[in-house]
Structure 1
């Protein structure tokens, strides 16, 4: 094969090569299929003297008294208020109830101290009902805590690794009630996009109509795509499974720059472009030195020695150099232009905000 034919063959392959594709399940999800948050209040027992200080946490003592009363042990109010329980801690238990969870299935739970307990290591969570937003009980939690930390203290010294006031119980809760879903209701299902974008909604509807037949999918708005689905439950599950595996050309996201004002982190996506502009950036430093000055009175003057402070302030401002930033149509060009400024991440946050205000940054700024 000659070089000319080989070049033409490689050019044809590059033209026919498919663009980067994503599955529908990666950009959208079936509406109504969602998880639910559960929470509950409980007690962790069996601690080695690291529980709540009941004199400062009266609700722990009250909870223990109420628990004993449920077991048939009633304490007089005077004795209940004087309980000193160093091996008990009041905790908040949280869990996520996944979609389609049925009674008898188990869940992982998180247990966090809500008092002044020093450590939950070695503790056991007693039976704790977990409630949903409607106040109904959907799961029951109980078990031994797993703490991913360690600590020791003696003679005023303390060493601690990781967090000791929160832990986890794998399969520590059992589902008692199922949450009904509207998956099999009606003659259609709605796909909710992970991010609102009209172009993505159009491409999802177009991919479904191309692969499964024209007219069964339509974009209702920038975040919802309605798809006609079989009425039979088994056929609908198979249809949704096939639907989620359909691929479409990866949409170009809206240009966005995410700024973290606390850490100075800056993240840009591939659609960010930069227009030509000029930037001048300089550093200003202020140095304050303080020196003690001692005033000593003369002999036999009945005066006293006075210690004062003398401060000197110096301001050093480096000259700002005006740097011309060329047009940057690609993300790599934007990164190269911003690196040429030599600014710190904290300064870069302010510079990007100023460039956006001037109209040279073609992206949306989001501060988190």
Structure 2
């Protein structure tokens, strides 16, 4: 029986080179984590858009109430009684140039101060299009639904970026902060670093914790203090797969910012997470880390069959389905299978389905991520 070894197809699959090589590479801590408390916050609220060219929400009760309230606040109530009753709202029923919208703005991780201006994004709740409209007003509250404090006000001319999505728009600098939003990163003398989702792993967390302990041992340990191991354990605590709690040393008690800046520059090793393969069915892309393995497997696709070949160097070959022998190489790599399928002109969408099938059968030695 003749076996054909398939060659690499360079453009089919992206082989993700490890960010750092285990035991050899290194990176700064700031590249794989952030400090707890230094996260973005979203402000949100409802607003009223006016100036639409007949594309608003005619006859919508909520829009009419919002418009009535706005007119009352500006000293021109639609009702002489000052109340938006059914009779007064009837006067606004034919207005087609206004719409209710949902408004959001993102406060950066470093916080924001009163008077700062942020971009805001507007999504229509009703109406047909926001083109040409202007946000008359919107009061924005914080992410905590129990906190009714107004943190920012928003207004300005809407810009619709996508003509196919006329119900979504933005306002450059349209949100002005009315309250300070500060992000505290120190609590009870400790800071916590949080590994990003692509590096959150128990092995990675322990490796990072050990490297931070090494920094403490070299720079802050005092021989007259407690036993070294006990002291380090109290100063650097790996809480779980993503959180590492670190005590600010005495030298930096009055300068926590200086300590964090130094901490973020620590060179860390062994930060490669588990083997992964990321597929995007819409874009038909496949990204494989070099260490994703495949167990004993036969892949049948239309008129061909692919199997893992035993040996020190695993190969995937086209075979006669009736001549398959038990066995295979647990060291076979997924990228070899993908390259072989690509050499056979198997469409990327079919390859993604094959990978999903291998994962469902428990033969994929890595984490499958579907975007």
TM-score class, shorter-chain normalisation, is: 0.7 to 0.9
> Quick check: 1:164 aligned with 2:182?
no
Partner of 2:325 in structure 1?
Answer: none
Per the TM alignment, residue 330 of structure 1 is displaced from its structure 2 partner at its CA by 5.2
Instruction: Answer 1 or 2: higher relative contact order, Cα 8 Å, separation at least 6.
Output: 2
Partner of 1:325 in structure 2?
Answer: 308
* d(CA) in 1 for partners of 2:332, 2:214: 33
Aligned CA distance change for structure 1 residues 337 and 212 (closer, same or farther; 3 Å): farther
Aligned CA distance change for structure 1 residues 37 and 144 (closer, same or farther; 3 Å): same
1:294-305 pair list within 5 angstroms: none
Aligned CA distance change for structure 1 residues 250 and 87 (closer, same or farther; 3 Å): farther
Partner of 1:103 in structure 2?
Answer: 114
Q: 1:258 aligns with which of 256, 274, 278?
A: 278
Partner of 1:30 in structure 2?
Answer: 35
1:273-352 pair list within 5 angstroms: 273-282=293-302, 320-326=303-309, 327=314, 329=332, 332-340=335-343, 342-352=345-355
For residues 237-272 of structure 1, the C-alpha deviation after alignment (integer angstroms, 9 at most, x for no partner) is 011011112222352221223344666554333331
SS at structure 1 position matched to 2:121: strand
Per the TM alignment, residue 357 of structure 1 is displaced from its structure 2 partner at its CA by 4.2
Partner of 1:190 in structure 2?
Answer: 192
Aligned CA distance change for structure 1 residues 190 and 352 (closer, same or farther; 3 Å): same
* d(CA) in 2 for partners of 1:224, 1:250: 17
The CA RMSD measured in Å over matched residues stands at: 2.7
Conserved 8 A contact 2:298-2:306: yes
Partner of 1:199 in structure 2?
Answer: 203
Q: 1:142 aligns with which of 126, 150, 155?
A: 155
Conserved 8 A contact 1:60-1:90: yes
SS at structure 1 position matched to 2:27: strand
From the CA coordinates, give the structure whose radius of gyration is larger: 1
> Quick check: 1:119 aligned with 2:121?
no
Partner of 2:321 in structure 1?
Answer: none
SS at structure 2 position matched to 1:267: strand
Partner of 1:209 in structure 2?
Answer: 213
Per the TM alignment, residue 366 of structure 1 is displaced from its structure 2 partner at its CA by 3.6
Provide the aligned length of Structure 1 versus Structure 2: 300
Where does structure 1 lack aligned partners over 5 or more consecutive residues?
A: 1-17, 150-160, 283-319
Partner of 1:39 in structure 2?
Answer: 44
Partner of 1:228 in structure 2?
Answer: 247
TM-score with structure 1 setting the length: 0.72
Per the TM alignment, residue 226 of structure 1 is displaced from its structure 2 partner at its CA by 1.6
SS at structure 2 position matched to 1:337: helix
Per the TM alignment, residue 236 of structure 1 is displaced from its structure 2 partner at its CA by 0.5
